[in-house]
Amino acid sequence: MADRVLVTGARAPAALDIARSLKAAGFEVHMADCVPARIARRSNAPIAVYRHSSPVYRPAEFARDIRRLIDRIDPIAVVPTCEEVFHLAALAEAEGWFDKLIAPPFETLATLHHKGRFAVLCDELGLPVPTTTVVTDSAGLMHEALDADVVVKPAWSRFGSQALIKPDAAALESLRPSPETPWLVQSRVKGEEVSFYAIAHDGVLTAFSAYRSGWRTRGGAAYVFTPLAESVFDRLRTMADALARVVRRGQFACDAIIDVRGQPLLIECNPRATSGVHLFGRSAAFGRALLGRDIARPGPGNWRNSIMLDTFGLADALRTQQLMAWRDEHRLSHDILSAPRDPLPPLGALMDAAGFGLRALTSGQDLASAMTADIEWNGQPLTPALWEGP
C-alpha cells in the first residue's frame, strides 16, 4: 500500500500541483480545506478531498476535524500550502504530532511572517533588506513616513494589498497602528520585482525555484511565471541557503527587488507554498523533495494561470496594444490549472472564483481578503483554549 500524504489548503493551484507531484512520486494523496475547493475536487490527483471547519471562525471545530482526519487517514506527512500552516503548526505542537507536519516550528513561522521580524532576521544573517522600522502608534507612523520615499504596510499582511507607496498625510492619518496591529515603514527600492520558492529539510534546500512576472493584475497578483536568468537565480539561491538553516524544515518563499545596481534586496517572506511550485513541472522528484527524499530542480519555460491570462491578461493586452505578446504567452507557456489526463480543474477554479466573489460581495471585503479571511493569521494568540470544545 502506498504511503498517504495529506495536503491542506486545497483551494490553491499550488496545492494541486503539489498533489500531482506527490502522486507522480507514488504517494496516495488526500487533500483538505475549509472551503469547497472545487479546483481539487475536479482533479484526479487526490484520492479524496475533505472539508474541515475554519481555523479562524470555528477553531474548536477545526481542531476536532483535523484530529479526525489524522486518525482516519494516518498520513506519513501533512503538507500545508496556505496560511492554515500557522494554525496547524500551533495545534500539532500542542497535541504531539508535529513530526508529521512539513513546516517549521510555530515561532519560526511567526518570525518569517511578521515583516519587521523578518527584516531583523535578515540583518542578523547578513542578507540585504531595505531600511525597515516597525511603528505601533500614529505619532510614530507620521514621524517615520510623512514626506519620505517609503512603503508603508501592515506587519501582518499578504499579497501587498494594503501597501502604500509614499503616502500623504491624509492616507497616514487613516491608519491605526498599535502593538497588536503594527505597521512597517520601509525605504522604497526601485527595480525589478522577483520571487523565489524553496523547501528545506534538516536545514538544507531540497528544492529551489526563482521567477519573475511581467503579467500582473492592478492589485499586483502575478499570473504568468518566468524563470530567472542563472546569475540572479544563483544570488537568490545563496540567500535561500542562509534562510534554510533557520527554517530547518518546510516551505518558504520570498519576494525581492533587484535594484539599479543589480543587488537583490529581500522584501518579505511567505512561509508556505507559492507559485514557484509550478516551475517544477509536477515532477516525481519534486514530490519526493517535499518530504526530504530527493533534490528537485525547476525546468525551463513559462507557466500561466490560464483563466487570469484569458481575462485580466487579455484586457491589459488590448489596452496596451500588446496582443501579440499575449498570444505568444498563451501559446508557449504551460497552464498551471490543467494537466495531461487531468483537464477539469479549470472548471473547478472558475466555480471557486465565483464562490469567493460572492463571499466578497456579501461580506464587504475585497476579493483578496475574501479568499484568505477564513485561514489567515495576523499575530493573535493560538493557544489550546481555542481548540477545546464547548
Q: b or e along 98-131 (b: 16 or more beta carbons within 10 Å of the residue's beta carbon)?
A: bebbbbbbbebbbbbbbbbbbbebbeeeebebbe
User: From the centroid of its chain, how far is CA 286?
Assistant: 17
Cα 286 to Cα 295: distance, rounded to the nearest angstrom: 7
Name the phi and psi angles at 51, rounded to 5: -110, 125
Write the DSSP symbol of residue 328: H
* pLDDT number for residue 307: 94
* pLDDT number for residue 162: 82
More confident residue, 389 or 116: 116
Cα 295 to Cα 308: distance, rounded to the nearest angstrom: 31
* pLDDT number for residue 386: 92
Asked whether residue 288 carries a pLDDT value surpassing 90, the answer given is: yes
Q: Which of 108, 126, 127 is nearest to 117 (CA)?
A: 108
User: From the centroid of its chain, how far is CA 350?
Assistant: 20
Give me 234's grid cell.
544563483
Distant-in-sequence, close-in-space partners of 159: CB < 8 Å, separation ≥ 6: 219, 220, 221, 368
Return mean pLDDT, the chain: 94
Give me 196's grid cell.
523565489
User: From the centroid of its chain, how far is CA 333?
Assistant: 22
Write the DSSP symbol of residue 291: T
* pLDDT number for residue 218: 76
* pLDDT number for residue 100: 98
152-209 pLDDT, tens digit per residue, is 999 998 876 688 999 999 999 999 999 999 999 999 999 999 999 999 999 999 999 9
* pLDDT number for residue 326: 93
Cα 53 to Cα 40: distance, rounded to the nearest angstrom: 17
User: CA–CA distance from 73 to each of 35, 60, 66, 293 (Å)?
Assistant: 19, 20, 10, 21
211-235 pLDDT, tens digit per residue, is 999 888 876 789 999 999 999 999 9
Cα 372 to Cα 386: distance, rounded to the nearest angstrom: 20
* pLDDT number for residue 188: 94
* pLDDT number for residue 215: 87
Written as one letter, the residue type at 2 is A
Cα 361 to Cα 275: distance, rounded to the nearest angstrom: 26
Residue 368 banded pLDDT, cuts 50, 70, 90: confident
Sign of CA dihedral 97, 288, 10, 329: positive
71-112 pLDDT, tens digit per residue, is 999 999 999 999 999 999 999 999 999 999 999 999 999 999
* pLDDT number for residue 11: 97
Give the DSSP letter string of 74-104.
--SEEE--STHHHHHHHHHHHHT-GGGB-S-
Per DSSP (E only), the strands in the chain are: 4-8, 28-33, 48-51, 77-79, 132-135, 150-154, 164-165, 183-187, 192-201, 204-212, 224-227, 250-258, 264-270, 303-304, 334-335
* pLDDT number for residue 161: 67
**Mean pLDDT lowest among 129-143, 254-268, 343-357, 358-372:** 358-372
Name the phi and psi angles at 11, rounded to 5: -70, -20
* pLDDT number for residue 122: 98
Instruction: Tell me the mean pLDDT in the region 256-267.
Output: 94
* pLDDT number for residue 390: 58
Instruction: Tell me the mean pLDDT in the region 225-250.
Output: 97
Q: What is the pTM of this model?
A: 0.95
* pLDDT number for residue 163: 87
Give me 43's grid cell.
482533479
